[in-house]
């Protein structure tokens, strides 16, 4: 099961990102563990400068802006 | 339909851009005759008040929206070259002075959202970007942006847009420089100062032209999708209040002669927060009613550059003294801009 973290200080884009991943996972029936990281010190520990960031199994795969649907589907597939 | 269009920019990005540019230009040049033609179809006199207002609305609305779409598209592509990471590695270890100028200039082209202000701030400090240089960037990025400039250009002409650009950059450069001179590093929160310094690595872009075009479209969707309603409101106000409220209604207390109007405008502007587009309807209304340009621009800058929610976010990394200094220096800069404007024009 993939562990997916969305890094963000609570802006609208971060919430949208979270929702998009949720939807995509539901549509695919993929089992994921989704977390939202709002603590700024923790966010910085991933070295991300622009939020929202997405971390999958400890690896930063995206930073800055809402990820596209295609991109999310790719993450869930691989 | 969108699915059918998507492969095109990917396979032939250059040709696609060329066709788009020609189409955009044709549309832009065709707007005026088109609006005249549409008005001539209506049962109102073109020479009359109503006819004039309708023609203005039919011409101005698509004109502003078209300009904004074009510019946000281009800036979306430009932004894809200047990621926050790249800007950081450009600024790392710069000296003050040159660094402030670079930071303020990069603030225009680097994508920035106020929700990223804190991570960005820490990222810069971690990479040894001097504090004052970091502030120059933080001031310029929200204030001098393509949306504000495009809207000022489309609604008030290139001179006002150019003045806003020059003065906005000056405020960012000078304020950042002063904050740097004040040596306030110890007013960073302790955990920020204690973070390990890192050597910023230049991030490889790895984007094709097709990807950048996609990024351009994404930014159009995001920005124009969000701000069109404000623009519509702004133009409607501009067309609507024409001739209904006395032209110099505001001149008595927001005109050039009222010296206290500039500080008042800044004072009112600081706690307010909206984006560049949201403020345009208000600017439009104030100017139309005889408020002095310097006063209005000072108001606009203080609303965009200084905001209460941003202070709250920044409080996580800065101690109160530093935040107060930041607000004080920037507000003073804006004040000066307002006065200079009112004096010169």
Q: Which residue has the tokens 């969305």?
A: A6
User: What average pLDDT does this structure show over B101-115?
Assistant: 83
Q: Do residue A50 and residue B116 have CB atoms under 8 angstroms apart? A: yes
pLDDT in tens, B177-197: 999 999 888 888 887 877 777
Which residue of A lies nearest to B123 if distances are taken between CA atoms?
A: A49
For residue B25, being part of any structural domain is answered with yes
Residue B288 pLDDT exceeds 70: yes
Mean pLDDT value across residues B159-176: 90
Assign B1 a pLDDT band (cuts: 50, 70, 90).
very low
Model pLDDT, residue B244: 54
**What are the tens digits of pLDDT across the range B29-40?**
888 888 888 878
Residue B45 has pLDDT above 70, yes or no: yes
- Enumerate the H helices of chain B as residue ranges: 2-5, 7-11, 13-41, 49-79, 84-91, 98-109, 117-126, 131-143, 146-156, 158-181, 190-193, 209-240, 251-254, 261-269, 276-288, 293-305, 308-314, 320-344
Helix or strand or coil: residue B71? helix
Cβ of A51 and B116 within 8 Å?
yes
| Residue labelled with tokens 């002409």 | B157
What's the rounded Cα separation, in Å, for the pair B24 and B30? 10
B100 lies in a domain?
yes
> B170 with B136: CB under 8 angstroms?
no
B203 has a pLDDT exceeding 60: no
SS3 B270: coil
Which member of B83, B118, B126 has the closest CB to residue A40? B118
Model confidence at B214: pLDDT above 70: yes
Query: Least CA distance to B201: which residue of chain A?
Result: A47
Q: Is the pLDDT reported for residue B4 higher than 50?
A: no
Percentage of residues in chain B having pLDDT higher than 90: 11
The pLDDT tens digits of the residues spanning A1-54 come to 888 889 887 777 788 888 889 888 888 887 888 888 888 778 877 877 777 888
3-state secondary structure A23-71: HHHHHHCCCEEEEEECCHHHHHCCCCCCCCEEEECCEEEEECCCCCHHH
Q: Determine the structural domain holding residue B181 and report its residue range.
A: 1-196+209-345
Kindly report whether the global pTM for this prediction surpasses the value 0.90. Answer: no
pLDDT score recorded for residue B3: 46
Q: Which range, B19-33, B37-51, B297-311, has the best average confidence (pLDDT)? A: B19-33
Beta bridge partners of A35: A5
Question: How far is the C-alpha of B213 from the C-alpha of B139, rounded, in Å?
Answer: 28
Counting the structural domains of chain B, the total is 1
Check: CB of residue B67 under 8 Å from CB of residue B155. no
In this prediction, residue B198 has a pLDDT band, given cuts at 50, 70 and 90, of low
- Residue of A49, A64, A68 to mutate, interface with B, max B Cβ within 10 Å: A49
Q: Do A44 and B195 touch (CB under 8 A)?
A: yes
Contact criterion met (CB < 8 Å) for A14 and B115: yes
What is the nearest CA distance from A13 to chain B, expressed in angstroms? 9
pLDDT at B60: 79
Beta carbons of B88 and A49 less than 8 Å apart: yes
Greater confidence (B279 vs B301) lies with: B301
Which tokens belong to A69? 């649907």
User: Per the domain annotation, does B10 fall within a domain?
Assistant: yes
Distance (Å, rounded) from C-alpha B271 to C-alpha B253?
A: 21
The phi and psi torsions of B72 (rounded to 5 degrees) equal -65, -30
C-alpha B342/C-alpha B296 separation (Å) is: 10
Given a cut of 60, is residue B200 above it in pLDDT? Answer: no
Is residue B122 within 8 angstroms of chain A, CB to CB? yes
Question: A-chain residues within 8 Å CB-CB of B222?
Answer: 65-66
Give A10: exposed, middle or buried? Use CB within 10 Å, 0-12, 13-18, 19+. Answer: exposed
Look at residue B178 in the predicted model and tell me its pLDDT: 93
Output the pLDDT for position B204. Answer: 46
Å from A12 to nearest chain B CA?
A: 9
Q: CA–CA distance from B98 to each of B105, B136, B142, B251, B277 (Å)?
A: 11, 11, 20, 41, 31
Q: What integer pLDDT is reported at residue B202 of this predicted model?
A: 47
Flag if A51 and B317 touch (Cβ within 8 Å): no
Question: What residues of A are in contact with residue B126 (Cβ under 8 Å)?
Answer: 44
The class that CATH gives domain A2-77 is alpha beta
Neighbours of B20 (CB within 10 A): 15
Nearest Cα of chain B lies from the Cα of A72 at a distance, in angstroms, of: 16
* Environment class of B211 (CB within 10 Å of its CB; exposed 0-12, middle 13-18, buried 19+): middle
Tell me if residue A4 falls in helix, strand or coil: strand
Please write the tens of the pLDDT for every residue from B55-104.
777 887 888 888 889 988 998 888 888 878 788 888 887 888 899 999 99
How many C-beta atoms surround the C-beta of residue B113 within 10 A? 19
Pairwise CB contact (< 8 Å): A64 & B111: yes
Higher pLDDT, B75 or B203: B75
The yes-or-no verdict on residue B243 having pLDDT over 60 is no
- Contact (CB<8Å) A9/B84: no
């Amino acid at each position: 099961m993939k562990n997916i973290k969305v890094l963000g200080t609570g802006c609208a884009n971060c919430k949208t990102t979270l929702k998009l991943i949720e939807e995509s996972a539901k549509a695919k029936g993929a089992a994921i563990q989704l977390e939202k990281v709002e603590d700024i010190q923790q966010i910085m520990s991933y070295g991300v400068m622009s939020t929202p960031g997405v971390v999958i199994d400890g690896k930063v795969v995206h930073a800055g802006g809402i990820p596209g649907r295609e991109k999310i589907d790719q993450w869930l597939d691989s | 339909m969108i699915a059918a269009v998507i492969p095109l920019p990917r396979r032939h990005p250059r040709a696609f851009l060329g066709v788009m540019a020609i189409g955009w230009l044709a549309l832009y040049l065709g707007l005026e005759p088109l609006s005249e033609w549409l008005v001539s179809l209506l049962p109102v006199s073109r020479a009359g008040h109503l006819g004039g207002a309708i023609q203005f609305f039919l011409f101005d609305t698509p004109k502003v929206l078209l300009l904004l779409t074009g510019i946000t598209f281009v800036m979306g592509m430009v932004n894809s070259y200047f990621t926050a990471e790249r800007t950081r590695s450009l600024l790392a270890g710069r000296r003050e002075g040159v660094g402030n100028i670079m930071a303020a200039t990069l603030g225009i082209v680097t994508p920035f959202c106020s929700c990223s202000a804190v991570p960005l701030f820490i990222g810069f400090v971690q990479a040894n970007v001097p504090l004052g240089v970091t502030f120059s960037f933080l001031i310029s990025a929200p204030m001098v942006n393509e949306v504000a400039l495009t809207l000022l250009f489309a609604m008030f002409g290139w001179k006002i847009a150019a003045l806003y650009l020059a003065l906005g950059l000056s405020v960012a450069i000078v304020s950042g420089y002063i904050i740097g001179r004040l040596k306030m590093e110890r007013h960073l929160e302790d955990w920020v100062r204690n973070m390990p310094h890192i050597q910023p690595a230049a991030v490889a872009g790895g984007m094709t032209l097709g990807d950048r075009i996609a990024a351009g479209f994404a930014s159009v969707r995001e920005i124009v999708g969000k701000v069109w309603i404000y623009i519509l409101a702004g133009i409607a106000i501009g067309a609507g209040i024409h001739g209904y409220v006395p032209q110099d209604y505001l001149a008595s207390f927001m005109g050039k002669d009222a010296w206290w109007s500039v500080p008042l405008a800044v004072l009112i502007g600081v706690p307010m927060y909206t984006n560049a587009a949201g403020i345009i309807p208000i600017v439009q209304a104030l100017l139309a009613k005889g408020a002095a340009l310097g006063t209005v621009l000072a108001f606009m800058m203080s609303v965009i550059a200084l905001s209460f929610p941003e202070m709250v976010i920044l409080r996580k990394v800065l101690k109160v003294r530093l935040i107060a200094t930041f607000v004080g220096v920037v507000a003073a800069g804006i004040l000066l801009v307002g006065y200079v404007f009112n004096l010169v024009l």
